């Protein structure tokens, strides 16, 4: 098993640079990177065919470590430059990795419009409920009443659900996993990459350093146990009363709908434009 | 066979872009440049290109960044308030050395201002505009023909130097119509971009970034950029000179204002006053040496702008001590008349005892 993991690392990581990585010991980002690499490997994708684009934050370090075509650019804008890349080179598999603040605060507008537009792009959003890299400030997913470096008396804003936001905005595929349920996570990422259309995987992850420490979960194990104890699979949740679901979040496939993707629609536009107004 | 057609300035830019091989446009509505996205939304699909109306100017410029990273010729356009929102993306493009065309059809400001023409965005365009130590290549057309020609030129320079390029024009140039000679349509073959994220095999790992954390790494990157800007300054400065051989005073003006100055020059010649003009066509690189050399022979310079004195500073930096420098500006949508300009020039010449 260890051998297998090492082989994959050598195959996909830029192991000649930037290591050791910047993530804190026990960070969920490594688990997510591992799941992403295994998903790509099992799908048999060539690394040259993949673009991994990120925003800024701890999640933004991911493109530094993997040997795909990678783009590490502006905070909140990963989906906009992914849109540009996908249109200019539609044959590439375009994946973005963002954090919760990255994708839903500064990049929130891009996120809902990317979902509405339905390009064939995969968005992995790591939700650790906090701005980790900058020192534990509250984010749009910091739960009500929790503590952050900018919410020292308890957070009085209400968190929104990234997965529900994606569904409402029109994403073709929406999944939610955690870094505790690693097999499910790999499956969701695989599904999202294969799915034709805008696909979102929200990953509940642990930032025990910035979030946990301020909220009585200061080690990674406690946080992983919290995920285990507060998640319910979509299948199980179906048979549960709303009252019983209070305090739990669902994991699994939350939406999987068929709709025409943007580039297909645009190819039709190109045909129509040429037919109606030949040059 | 060169085709001559009557075109609006905004459309000329769009046509120039297509002629240059631009196949991607991302933008957000704002007056007075809406003809550009409207035209391209119907024309790009015909040539296999793609148009997206983005959710904001912030989105537009970052979509430009993405398509550029994948190796495509790509553009956006806007006006003052939207261009301000794009500064973030332009800084990242400059930092990761990505080409692309940004068109600013200037409207008055600060703030929302209005939709009247101005040259008030000169500083923002030519001094970087966003954060960090960088420059855009800035071209300033003065006719609808140049809107077309300089759009093509902007893409060439932008690719050549891997640097964002801007066309800085105003509401007058964008909205007026003039005859334009169009280049014969031919397939544009772009030079290979080995740095692009295009999925090519057998390559070294490709990684576009603007983050340099190791000791001295950022400084080295900045110095490399500086070397590039110096090369651009050395090789790409463009200007138009008029009546410089026998004049008593030289006017420096760009874009729309240069057209008005030409009328003032004709009026003055009838009165026996000889006025010359230097019209910078590239604002970055600024044609400093022609201004410096001309001022040595004719030490009277008058700068005329539709702002309160922005290019004036670059002219000041270009000339040596002992040159008499005058300025006439009309900001906030005011457009100088030839009579006003001539009057200001006469005042300056009178002070000198002419």
For A259-276, the pLDDT digits (tens) are: 999 999 999 999 999 887
Contact (CB, 8 A) for A219 and A208: yes
Name the stretches of chain B with pLDDT < 50. Answer: none
Rounded Cα gap, residues B83 and A39, in angstroms: 40
Look-up of token digits 């500083």: B123
Contact B46 A274 (CB under 8 A): yes
Handedness of CA B21, B23, B26, B30 (dihedral sign): positive
Contact B50 A92 (CB under 8 A): no
ipTM > 0.90, yes or no: no
Contact A266 B45 (CB under 8 A): yes
Rounded Cα gap, residues B140 and B124, in angstroms: 14
CB atoms within 10 A of CB B152: 21
Domains of chain B: 2-235 (3.40.50.970), 240-351 (3.40.50.920)
| Best residue in A45, A69, A94, A275 for a mutation probing chain B (most B CBs within 10 Å) | A69
Contact B62 A14 (CB under 8 A): no
Touching check for B14 and chain A: CB below 8 Å? no
Q: Which residues of B touch A48 (CB under 8 A)?
A: 199-201, 203
Touching check for A134 and chain B: CB below 8 Å? no
Instruction: To the nearest 10°, report the CA torsion of B336, B342, B344, B345.
Output: 130
Contact A88 B66 (CB under 8 A): yes
Touching check for A276 and chain B: CB below 8 Å? no
| Six-digit token string for B130 | 């966003």
> Could you say which of B54, B72, B199 has the minimum Cβ distance to residue A91?
B199
Q: Which of B45, B44, B37 is nearest to B10 (CA)?
A: B37
Q: In total, how many domains does chain A have?
A: 1
The answer, yes or no, to whether residue A279 has pLDDT greater than 60, is no
- B 119-178: CB under 8 A from A: none
**A237 pLDDT band (50/70/90 cuts)?**
very high
Neighbouring C-alpha atoms within 13 Å toward the C-beta of B289: 7
Contact (CB, 8 A) for A193 and A43: yes
Touching check for B272 and chain A: CB below 8 Å? no
Contact A85 B208 (CB under 8 A): no
Domain that holds residue A253: 2-276
Q: Among residues of chain A, what percentage have pLDDT more than 70?
A: 97
- B 288-317: CB under 8 A from A: none
Q: Give the pLDDT confidence score for residue B168 in this predicted structure.
A: 98
How many Å is the Cα radius of gyration of chain B?
Answer: 21
> Could you say which of A73, A89, A266 has the minimum Cβ distance to residue B70?
A89
Look-up of token digits 């009838």: B270
CATH code at position A8: 3.40.50.970
For A145-198, the pLDDT digits (tens) are: 999 999 999 999 999 999 999 999 999 999 999 999 999 999 999 999 999 999
> Could you say which of B66, B68, B200 has the minimum Cβ distance to residue A83?
B66
Touching check for B353 and chain A: CB below 8 Å? no
The answer, yes or no, to whether residue A13 has pLDDT greater than 70, is yes
Q: Give the pLDDT confidence score for residue B200 in this predicted structure.
A: 66
Contact A84 B26 (CB under 8 A): yes
The answer, yes or no, to whether residue A117 has pLDDT greater than 60, is yes
**A23 pLDDT band (50/70/90 cuts)?**
very high
A66: nearest CA partner in chain B: B205
Look-up of token digits 């500073």: B313
| Six-digit token string for A68 | 């795909």
> Could you say which of A69, A272, A277 has the minimum Cβ distance to residue B199?
A69
- Name the minimum distance, in Å, from the CA of B51 to any CA of chain A: 9
> Could you say which of A88, A109, A273 has the minimum Cβ distance to residue B42?
A273
Touching check for A107 and chain B: CB below 8 Å? no
Touching check for A67 and chain B: CB below 8 Å? yes
Touching check for B62 and chain A: CB below 8 Å? yes
Touching check for A8 and chain B: CB below 8 Å? no
CB atoms within 10 A of CB B201: 8
> Could you say which of A67, A72, A84 has the minimum Cβ distance to residue B67?
A84
Residue B175 burial (CB < 10 Å; 0-12/13-18/19+)? middle
Touching check for B53 and chain A: CB below 8 Å? no
Touching check for B204 and chain A: CB below 8 Å? no
């Amino acid at each position: 098993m260890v051998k297998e993991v090492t082989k994959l690392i050598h195959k996909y990581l830029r192991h000649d640079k930037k290591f050791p990585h910047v993530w804190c010991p026990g960070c969920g980002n490594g688990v997510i990177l591992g799941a992403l690499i295994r998903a790509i490997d099992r799908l048999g994708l060539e690394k040259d065919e993949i673009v991994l684009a990120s925003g800024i934050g701890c999640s933004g370090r991911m493109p530094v470590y993997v040997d795909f075509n990678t783009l590490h650019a502006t905070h909140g804008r990963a989906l906009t430059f992914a849109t540009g890349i996908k249109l200019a080179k539609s044959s590439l598999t375009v994946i973005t990795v963002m954090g919760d603040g990255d994708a839903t605060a500064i990049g929130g507008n891009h996120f809902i419009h990317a979902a509405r537009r339905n390009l064939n792009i995969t968005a992995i959003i790591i939700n650790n409920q906090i701005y980790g890299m900058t020192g534990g400030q509250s984010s749009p997913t910091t739960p009500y009443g929790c503590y952050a470096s900018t919410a020292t008396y308890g957070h009085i804003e209400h968190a929104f659900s990234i997965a529900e936001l994606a569904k409402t905005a029109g994403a073709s595929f929406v999944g939610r996993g955690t870094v505790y349920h690693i097999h499910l996570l790999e499956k969701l990422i695989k599904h999202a990459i294969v799915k034709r259309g805008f696909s979102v995987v929200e990953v509940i992850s642990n930032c025990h350093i910035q979030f946990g420490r301020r909220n009585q979960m200061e080690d990674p194990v406690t946080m992983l146990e919290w995920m285990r104890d507060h998640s319910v699979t979509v299948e199980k949740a179906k048979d549960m009363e709303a009252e019983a679901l209070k305090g739990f979040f669902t994991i699994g496939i939350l939406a999987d709908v068929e709709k025409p993707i943007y580039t297909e629609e645009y190819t039709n536009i190109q045909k129509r434009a040429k037919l109606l107004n030949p040059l | 066979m060169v085709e001559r057609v009557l075109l609006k300035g905004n459309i000329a830019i769009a046509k120039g872009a297509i002629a240059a091989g631009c196949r991607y446009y991302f933008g957000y509505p704002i007056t007075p440049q809406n003809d550009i996205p409207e035209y391209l939304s119907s024309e790009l699909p015909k040539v296999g290109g793609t148009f997206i109306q983005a959710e904001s100017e912030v989105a537009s410029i970052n979509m430009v960044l993405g398509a550029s990273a994948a190796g495509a010729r790509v553009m956006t356009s806007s006006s003052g308030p939207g261009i301000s929102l794009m500064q973030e993306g332009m800084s990242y493009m400059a930092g990761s050395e990505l080409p692309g065309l940004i068109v600013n059809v200037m409207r008055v400001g600060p703030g929302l201002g209005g939709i009247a023409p101005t040259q008030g965005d000169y500083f923002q365009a030519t001094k970087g505009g966003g954060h960090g130590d960088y420059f855009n290549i800035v071209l300033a057309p003065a006719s609808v023909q140049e809107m077309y020609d300089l759009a093509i030129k902007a893409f060439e320079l932008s690719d050549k130097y891997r640097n964002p390029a801007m066309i800085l024009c105003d509401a007058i140039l964008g909205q007026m119509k003039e005859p334009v000679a169009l280049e014969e349509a031919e397939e544009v073959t772009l030079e290979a971009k080995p740095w692009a994220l295009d999925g090519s095999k057998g390559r070294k790992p490709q990684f576009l970034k603007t983050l340099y954390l190791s000791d001295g790494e950022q400084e080295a990157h900045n110095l490399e950029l500086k070397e590039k800007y110096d090369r651009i300054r050395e090789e790409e400065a463009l200007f138009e000179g008029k009546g410089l051989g026998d004049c008593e005073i030289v006017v420096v003006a760009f874009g729309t204002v240069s057209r008005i100055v030409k009328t003032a020059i004709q009026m003055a010649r009838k009165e026996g006053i000889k006025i010359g003009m230097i019209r910078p066509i590239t604002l970055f690189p600024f044609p400093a040496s022609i201004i410096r050399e001309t001022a040595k022979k004719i030490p009277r310079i008058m700068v005329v702008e539709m702002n309160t004195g922005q290019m004036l500073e670059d002219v000041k930096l270009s000339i040596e001590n002992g040159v008499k420098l005058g300025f006439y500006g009309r900001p906030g949508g005011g457009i100088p008349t030839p009579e006003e300009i001539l009057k200001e020039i006469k005042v300056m010449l009178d002070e000198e005892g002419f």
